Amino acid sequence: MSRPDISRPNILLVYDKECPACHAYCQVVRIRESVGELRIVDAREDSEVMREITGAGLDIDQGMVLKMGDQLYYGADAIHALALIGSRSGIFNRFNYWMFRSRRVSKVLYPLLRFFRNLLLKLLGKTRINNLNQPGRDRF
């Protein structure tokens, strides 16, 4: 049995698996092997990382979270960090790097992506995750 490489941390990407756009993105995004192993976490399932995200006051309905080591990256910062650690193999990953390698561009584009994500979920009749238990925030 091989031992895990402790020098390469697990990197967690937490997102809403019921969102078709988010799910498609998370299935094709790749990180460089030298950085660590990317593990995808469904935000709708109870997990230690979701409890940590909620404890940090991050609204998962408003942004995905990337956890690297002890650091949480949220929304635009998460997509920016993914672009920087991402593999450049494949058209999608090269495009992802090109689009989100700039923190400034990420902060401008991410709210637009979030708007269309929320619109899509509303059209599909999905409920919010509402991990912060905000009253009246069950539907999109």
Residues 11-42 have pLDDT tens digits of 999 999 999 999 999 888 888 777 888 899 99
Q: What is the DSSP string of 97-124?
A: HHHHSSHHHHHHHHHHHHHHHHHHHHHT
Residues with Cβ within 8 Å of 135's Cβ and at least 6 positions away in sequence, in order, are none
Say how far apart CA 139 and CA 37 lie, in whole Å.
34
* Beta pairing partners, 42: 15
Say how far apart CA 140 and CA 121 lie, in whole Å.
7
pTM recorded for the entire structure: 0.88
DSSP 38: E
Residues 51-88 have pLDDT tens digits of 999 999 999 999 999 999 999 999 999 999 999 998 88
